[in-house]
Amino acid sequence: MAHPKAFSIAALACAAALPMLAQASVTLYGSLDSGLLSMSNYSAGTGYLPTTAQNGSAVKAKDGGLGASHWGLRGSEDLGGGLRANFQLQGNLNTTNGTTGGANSSSGTSFFNQLSVVGLSGSFGEIKLGRQFSPAAWAMQYTDARGLRYFGSALTAIVGMNSASRAWIGNNSNVAFGTIYDDNTIVYTTPTWNHLKLDFAYSFGESGGKANSQQSVTALYHNGGLKLSALYYNGYGNNLANATAIYAAALGNAGAGAAAARAAGFSETANTNRLYSVGALYTLGDYTIAGQYYAARNPDHVIVPGGSDSLDMWNIGAGWRPAPYLNLTTAYYHIKDNKNAGSKSTQFVLGLEYLLSKRTWAYVQGAYVSNNGANMALSPMYASPVAADKNVRAFMVGLRHSF
């Protein structure tokens, strides 16, 4: 049994903490998004590795038609003098089976697989540390007519570019080109100046030096109806784990796979991931037009057989709000493989969202994708790989509720 004095000390500690707790705020939030997806030419292979083997068409229950279902906690504390301490924890949940969490950068799983950050904000801007949604991904979303939706957007086009590299399986968030989520990352966001805001991010590889490290700089401009975005992203060692797994599967031996990957030039310091992008979006009244250009490069040209170290993507799109509760968007995405002649993918998508309330949306969306080339397997639905060198038709209806 504890000494009575121990209870007195504990009581004093709690009492001392109360004024600080009173100034803090914590919010529980999330979104549930579920629907029915009808799609042709599902892949019969492993993850996003391109294969012409296909499982035909199917209608499936699908989580995340507009964006992944998720839940999280966020909070802040006023430290005085305009300084605030902030935190945010956020993870996926799957409405089709109730599972939580998802893949992290190391091919494992994390409960809070999207965000686990702590930071400070004030007149100097904001600093955040931890696993977080990459500033590069924010830049992608900023000027995409489809807003980086999980169905038919710049996100699915970026996934298609990563699939075309043949060096990304899809079982981790450490992709071949660009990034969406980053582990071990520090991000500094500047205050907005003359309508311009900059983000600087550095992801530590945990092994010292440049090994497995990643860096990015993004710029976002907003003035009236005009939005502009620009990003530069660079990564070392991104493809090593995937290349090792791919060679191991082909050779039937983990040790031989690791040796083959290194013999091909994959390493913790190989500069295999670089992405550039610029974009613009303009809204006038009920109408929006947008366009983006992306250049995905592998500076050290270390690739698996049949893969690519150079791809370009451009898109154009438009939006229309005929009424406050209706949102119609459409976009066209084109990917060109500069390494393998004739390899290309196109994606056309149309989506209609009906706002039942500020928190509840009903939606319907359709897409047509053309894939040409043995390494081209662009899917119009995130987390739903399709067969390479096949045309794909997709249609989805769903409901999204936020809390």
pLDDT digit string, tens, across residues 223-258 = 999 999 999 999 999 999 999 999 999 999 999 999
Q: In the structure, what pLDDT confidence band is assigned to residue 1 with cuts at 50, 70 and 90?
A: very low
Percent share of the chain, pLDDT over 70: 94
| Angle of CA points 56, 57, 63, to nearest 5° | 125
Average pLDDT over residues 351-375: 98
- pLDDT tops 60 at residue 60: yes
The pLDDT of 292-307, averaged and rounded, is: 98
Give the Cα separation of 64 and 383 in Å (integer). Answer: 9
Phi, psi of 204 (to 5 degrees): -80, 135
pLDDT score recorded for residue 108:
85
pLDDT grade for 29, boundaries at 50, 70 and 90: very high
Residues contacting 318, CB < 8 A, separation 6+: 145, 287, 288, 289, 290, 329, 330, 331
Contact 351, 151 (CB under 8 A): yes
E strand map for 51-195: 58-63, 70-80, 83-92, 102-103, 109-110, 115-122, 125-133, 181-189
The CA-based angle 181-227-120, given to 5 degrees, is 45
d(C-alpha 291, C-alpha 275), whole Å? 17
| Predicted confidence (pLDDT) at residue 107 exceeds the cutoff of 90 | no
The single-letter code of the amino acid at 176 is A
Q: Where are the alpha helices (DSSP H) in 54-134?
A: none
| Topology annotation, domain 34-69+128-402 | Porin (2.40.160)
**What are the domain boundaries of the chain?**
34-69+128-402
Phi, psi of 157 (to 5 degrees): -70, -40
pLDDT for 93 beyond 50? yes
The overall average pLDDT reported for the chain is: 94
Q: What is the pLDDT of residue 400?
A: 98
- Residue 225 — φ and ψ, nearest 5°? -90, 0
Could you tell me what percent of the chain has a pLDDT over 90?
90
pLDDT at 263: 97
Strand partners, 330: 318, 350
Q: Does the pLDDT at position 7 exceed 90?
A: no
9 has a pLDDT exceeding 80: no
Confidence check: pLDDT of 353 > 80: yes
pLDDT at 106 over 90: no
pLDDT of residue 4: 41
Inform me whether the pLDDT recorded for 20 exceeds 50: no
pLDDT over threshold 80, residue 16: no
Tens-digit pLDDT profile for residues 314-342? 999 999 999 999 999 999 999 999 999 99
Confidence of residue 208 (pLDDT cuts 50, 70, 90): confident
Q: How confident is the model at residue 3 (pLDDT cuts 50, 70, 90)?
A: very low
How far apart (Å, rounded) are the C-alpha atoms in residues 299 and 394? 35
CA distance 184 to 258: 25
What pLDDT is recorded for position 207? 79
| pTM value > 0.75 | yes
pLDDT computed for residue 190 by the predictor: 98
Residue 23: pLDDT band by 50, 70, 90 thresholds? low
DSSP 153: S
Sequence-distant (≥ 6) Cβ neighbours of residue 346 within 8 angstroms: 332, 333, 334, 335, 369, 370
